[in-house]
Chains A and B, each alone.
Chain A
Amino acid sequence: MNIQLRFFASVREALGTAQEGVDLPEHVRTVGEVREFLRQRGDVWAEVLAEGRALRMACNQQMANPGTLVSEGCEVAFFPPVTGG
């Protein structure tokens, strides 16, 4: 399955990328599993996407849970807690 990844604010800066397309292995089906899959890249990916790290996730531009299912062509975003207003 191919999905689009988006990164914002401190997460974008730490990873050095704002957006990329990625091919997921068959066993990766949820937003939480995408996070885990990306952690396996190691280095800064393991650090920034670590469990317990304050991180928000969205799928198709709606706030997502780790259990939210991903689908072909969807947009999955990772970002820090928001600080607008």
Chain B
Amino acid sequence: MPIRIQTEDFDLSAEVSRLRASQPQVGAVVAFVGTVRDMNEGTIVAGMELEHYPGMTEKSLEVIVGQARARWDIVDALVIHRVGPLKPLDQIVLVAVTSKHRGEAFAACEFIMDYLKTQAPFWKKEQTPEGARWVDARVTDDQALARWGVSPARPGPGNTEASLPGEEA
């Protein structure tokens, strides 16, 4: 299960070719690519900087992909996430999943993305005409994760912060 954090761009076609090479049992490949938009919450975005927590990022993505493997019969999965300065139209993230049949690959790919959005330690800082601002976490991302029967981490007093399944609470 390759996981890569990198500043460089990636080539979807080359990555998918590598992922399914020598895997004749694969009948389905699902790939999601996240890209930088030029607008967020009504404000023009000129560019962004992606920060992460080296070490924890890789570990959390391994747990996430492990969870997907435990839930669905997939052949392999690839996650590439870029960090550093990015601009509109740039690719940010690639999640690609291979499986025998399409259902598993579709579900596992969406699950990995939903999980990554709320659990992997990445943060976006946007440059806007009003200056730079940190992007706020979206409630809809927590809701997306909840669809899979996973309760997202929540702030606040008496906080029982959700941990990734398989971890000690």
Contact = CB atoms under 8 A, between A and B. Distances in A.
Contact of B137 (A6, A52, A83): A83
B155 A9 contact: no
A10 to B, nearest CB: 4
B116 A85 contact: yes
B66 interface: no
Interface in A22-60: 51-58
B93 A58 contact: no
A16 interface: no
Contact of A82 (B55, B120, B125, B163): B120
Interface residues of B, number: 40
B120 A52 contact: no
Given A57-B161, A83-B137, 4 more contacts: A9-B123, A51-B157, A56-B161, A79-B121
Contacts of B52: 84
Chain A interface category by residue count: 20 to 34
19 contacts: A9-B123, A9-B125, A10-B134, A52-B157, A54-B155, A56-B121, A61-B59, A65-B160, A65-B169, A66-B159, A82-B119, A82-B120, A82-B123, A83-B124, A83-B135, A83-B138, A84-B117, A85-B113, A85-B116
Nearest to A8: B53
A81 B155 contact: yes
A81 B152 CA distance: 10
